[in-house]
Amino acid sequence: MLRAGLTLFFVATRFGCGLRRWSMDRATQPAFVYGYLSKPYPMKRLAPYLEQGEGIQIEYKRTLSSAYRIARTLAAFANTSGGTILIGVDDDGRAVGIDSEYREMQIIERATDFLIEPPLSVAYEIVRHEGRNVLLVTVPESDEKPHTAVNEHNERTIYVRQRDKSVPTQRLLIDDNEVNQQLLQTTMVKNLLQFLRKSDSITAARLAKLVNISTYRANKLLHDLTRQGVLLMVDKPRPAHFSLKKDG
């Protein structure tokens, strides 16, 4: 299904370095505009993604098998800090390429248009790496949070990124406050962030023991940092646990 508005992406042709730009609009048939690059995308365009590995903002997929499954990842990226899905890359970071860019994009479009509410807009890019085509799907952090993804039983769930996984949560705390830089420089918060760089998540009870404060203060601190966009809360299953919103 073609989405409302205008979506532009480039598809590398099989005839060297020519490019095809596909403009999609619900009101019209797909229109192809031909352009030309003096050389293919350099391999270094993909290298940083492969060197960094999967994480909060990077996901590898050898190929897409289900629109329902990829909808969770797309919604999680939009609800967290945005991210990029590399289709045609194994879990170990090895580029294996894809047979059909169109097939993979069809699955993505079904997920963004029909399985995620509100619908998402994503950007596509084809990168040639060691003789193989890899599809990059970039999902920006959304201004319309929370996005839910529907499963095969027509049940809608909010998903967020926790490390390299897309996990369900009951609710999403919107980060609408400015980051308190003085708070980030306190020993308490530094110890918390150092802990989270090594662990998936932390609860208020665990933080209370870590920095020797009451559970009430720990819970308040975690919620404050979540509303400032530093942390992300996952409250399914209980008790609520908190993780870093961005890598690093």
Residue 241 contacts residue 202 (beta carbons within 8 Å) = yes
Question: In the numeric block, which tokens belong to residue 199?
Answer: 């662990």
Is-same-fold flag (41-150; 173-244)?
A: no
Encoding tokens for residue 103? 């097939």
Fold of 173-244: Arc Repressor Mutant, subunit A (1.10.10)
Give the chain's largest Cα–Cα span. 65
β-bridge partners, 126: 135
Q: Is the pTM of this model over 0.75?
A: no
Q: Classify residue 194 as exposed, middle or buried by CB count within 10 Å of its CB (0-12, 13-18, 19+).
A: exposed
Written as six digits, the tokens of 213 are 């404060």
93: tokens are 């970071």
Domain spans of the chain? 41-150, 173-244
- Tens-level pLDDT at each residue, the chain (248 residues): 334 332 334 433 323 333 333 333 333 323 222 222 223 455 557 888 999 999 999 999 999 999 999 999 999 999 999 999 999 999 999 999 999 999 999 999 999 999 999 999 999 999 988 889 999 999 999 999 899 999 999 999 999 998 899 999 988 877 667 888 999 999 999 999 999 999 989 999 999 999 999 999 999 999 999 989 899 999 888 899 999 988 76
Q: Write the CATH number of the domain with boundaries 41-150.
A: 3.30.950.30
